[in-house]
């Protein structure tokens, strides 16, 4: 696996043109956002028809992995080598200004451009499937039975390089017009956070089963 650069060189597609000061090109921040997210949206076009599909994903080093049934339109289209755009967004808060015009949101997002390749070696496919599982619940893979040969053969895994990507981040209070700061209107931020509730056991769970630490102590962010 190649060593990732500490900062990606902006391209025509990743260079932020509106509010460029919010752009981030450091790989550490891009990876942190990707690793915290649970769902990505994959955009692609087939014969002029655009599609945007939400799906789970995983990251290993400088590559993003997608997986699913070989019959999936998304995966069948991507394995043909068409251009793809992958996005993730983490919503951190609602920003309430003194005017409707300046209301906003605090967020962290990533956009990735590239083409996908099929992961053929079984060993690499297993590593990618572990990344998918642990992306959702860290440590969960080690608690499970290993995938069967039929399950591996029935799962298509694609890899997308993280060589053309950028992040965009907004944080902090609202930015109002100078004259509006004197208005007697409350302004500020409503922080938002994705939290987990108490786990609910499968009704068919064996009575001797113990809730593992990965589930009992699960949290996001």
Asked whether residue 11 is domain-assigned, the answer is: no
Identify the three-state secondary structure at position 162.
Answer: coil
In tens, the pLDDT along 83-118 reads 999 999 999 999 999 999 999 999 999 999 999 999
Token match 């108490």: residue?
198
How many other C-beta atoms lie within 10 A of the C-beta of residue 216? 10
Listing DSSP states for 7-27 in one string gives BPPP-TTTS--SSGGGEE-BH
Whether 67 shows a pLDDT value over 70: the answer reads: yes
Into how many domains does the chain fold? Answer: 1
Residue 2's pLDDT is 52
Please identify which residue in the block is written with the tokens 């799962």.
155
Q: What is the pLDDT of residue 23?
A: 86
Token pair listed for 214: 């990965």
**In angstroms, rounded to a whole number, what is the distance separating the alpha carbons of residues 186 and 94?**
13
Percentage with pLDDT > 90 across the chain: 82
Residue 3: pLDDT band with limits 50, 70, 90: low
Look at 167-176, 181-190, 212-221 and tell me which has the smallest mean pLDDT: 212-221
Residue 18 has pLDDT above 60, yes or no: yes
- Report how far residue 186's alpha carbon sits from residue 73's, in angstroms, rounded to the nearest whole number: 48
pLDDT band at 4 (very low <50, low <70, confident <90, very high): confident
Give the residue among 111, 85, 101 at the shortest CA–CA distance from 185: 101
Kindly give the residue spans of alpha helices, DSSP state H, lying in the chain.
27-36, 73-78, 122-136, 149-153, 213-216
Q: Is residue 143 part of a domain?
A: yes
Residue 27 confidence (pLDDT):
95
What is the reported pLDDT for 207?
78
**pLDDT the model gives residue 20:** 83
Does 116 reside within a domain? yes
Q: In what order do the strands lie in the sheet with 156-161?
A: 58-60, 63-68, 156-161, 117-118
131-159: average pLDDT: 94
Domain contains 14: no
Query: Is residue 121 in a domain?
Result: yes
- H helices within 57-121, ranges in order? 73-78
Domain that holds residue 107: 20-216
**38 falls within a domain:** yes
Is the pLDDT at 26 greater than 90? The verdict is yes
Q: Check residue 5 and give its pLDDT.
A: 84
CATH of the domain at 37: 2.30.110.10
The three-class DSSP label of residue 53 is strand
Token pair belonging to 83: 């251009």
pLDDT digits (tens, 9 = 90+) for 173-196: 999 999 999 999 999 999 999 999
Q: Is residue 9 part of a domain?
A: no
């Amino acid at each position: 696996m190649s060593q990732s650069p500490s900062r990606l060189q902006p391209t025509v597609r990743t260079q932020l043109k509106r509010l460029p000061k919010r752009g981030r090109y450091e790989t550490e921040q891009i990876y942190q956002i990707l690793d915290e997210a649970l769902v990505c949206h994959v955009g692609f076009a087939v014969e002029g028809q655009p599609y945007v599909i939400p799906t789970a994903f995983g990251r290993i080093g400088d590559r993003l992995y997608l997986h699913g049934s070989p019959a999936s339109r998304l995966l069948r289209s991507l394995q043909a080598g068409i251009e793809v755009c992958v996005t993730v967004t983490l919503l951190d808060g609602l920003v309430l200004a003194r005017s409707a015009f300046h209301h906003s949101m605090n967020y962290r997002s990533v956009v990735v451009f590239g083409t996908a390749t099929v992961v053929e070696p079984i060993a690499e496919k297993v590593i990618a499937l572990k990344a998918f599982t642990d992306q959702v619940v860290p440590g969960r893979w080690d608690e499970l039975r290993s995938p069967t040969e039929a399950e591996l053969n029935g799962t298509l895994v694609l890899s997308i390089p993280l060589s053309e990507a950028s992040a965009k981040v907004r944080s902090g209070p609202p930015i109002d017009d100078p004259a509006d700061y004197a208005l007697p209107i409350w302004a500020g931020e409503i922080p938002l956070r994705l939290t987990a509730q108490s786990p609910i056991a499968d009704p068919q769970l064996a009575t001797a089963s113990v809730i593992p630490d990965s589930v009992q102590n699960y949290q996001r962010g």
